[in-house]
A = this chain, B = another copy of it.
Amino acid sequence: MFTDIVLDIFKLSGLLVAEGDVLTKDVGLSSARWKVLGALAHSDGSMTVPQIAYSMGQSRQSVQRLTDAMEGSGILVYQDNPHHKKAKLVALSEKGKEIFELLEQKQIPWANLAADGLNASDMEIALSVLRKMIQRFET
């Protein structure tokens, strides 16, 4: 059963990336870049690249490339980090905040539609299982 869950996570991940790409197309983003915005919004505003990568379960290099591109297009800004000379803090620009809020407005009805018919307590249980699995594989 655990293996079935793993396979379904792979499959869902692919399907959800496709969904996210559609939702973000209008604003010139992608699922991958949206996830970076989400990670930053989930934190207290700014994180270093390695912190974002850890929170996303990805390599720091892949996130670095995304943030560099998004900084180049004015969605993110690099801020000096008082605690570290090399590791800049990544934060949303004004433009980034606007785009993120736009996406949230599109995402809410999408999530409601997608979650329709799913039992809330079942979803809570599913979430707790996913969280435990993440803990198990996080370094």
Contacts and interface: CB of A to CB of B under 8 A. Distances in A.
B1 A130 contact: no
Interface string A102-137: 000001000110110110101111111111111011
Q: How many copies does the complex hold?
A: 2
B134 A12 contact: yes
A9 B13 contact: yes
Interface string A89-113: 0000000000000000001000110
Interface stretch (A14-22, A43-51, A70-78, A80-88): A14-22
- The 5 tightest CB contacts between A and B, nearest first, are A13-B13, A11-B57, A14-B57, A2-B115, A126-B129
18 contacts: A1-B115, A2-B112, A2-B118, A6-B111, A7-B38, A8-B134, A9-B9, A9-B12, A10-B17, A12-B134, A12-B137, A13-B57, A15-B134, A16-B137, A19-B137, A118-B132, A125-B126, A125-B129
